[in-house]
Amino acid sequence: MAPLGKKSESLTTVALSTEVPNDVVVAASTFSKDQGLALTTAAKVAGASADGQKTLKAAMLAEGVADVSEEDFTPVRKALDTFGTSKAP
């Protein structure tokens, strides 16, 4: 496992959950559905090869790209609700 950073010893675990998506790619509403599909497809293709994975890591600090749904974020919302910080509908 990669180190968490210089001050990782000061981190405190406040909740454990199932695996959740790390980061998401978000685009403005002016970004067309076709453009989004093209970007997603290119990233998935890149993630299928060692060279492509290097490119993803350099461009977005990503190891790969996967489809996610609203349900994948349920554990995150639950943890946020526990601490009264969720702004999600």
CA distance 21 to 69: 10
- The predicted model scores a pTM of 0.56
Annotate 36-73 with DSSP letters as a single string: HHHHHHHHHHHTTSHHHHHHHHHHHS-S------GGGG
CB of 63 closer than 8 Å to CB of 46: no
Domain segments of the chain as ranges: 26-65
What's the number of CA atoms in the CB half-sphere (13 Å) around residue 71? 1
Ordered per-residue pLDDT tens for the chain, 89 residues = 456 677 878 877 776 766 766 777 777 889 899 998 898 899 889 989 999 999 988 988 887 788 888 888 888 788 778 776 655 55
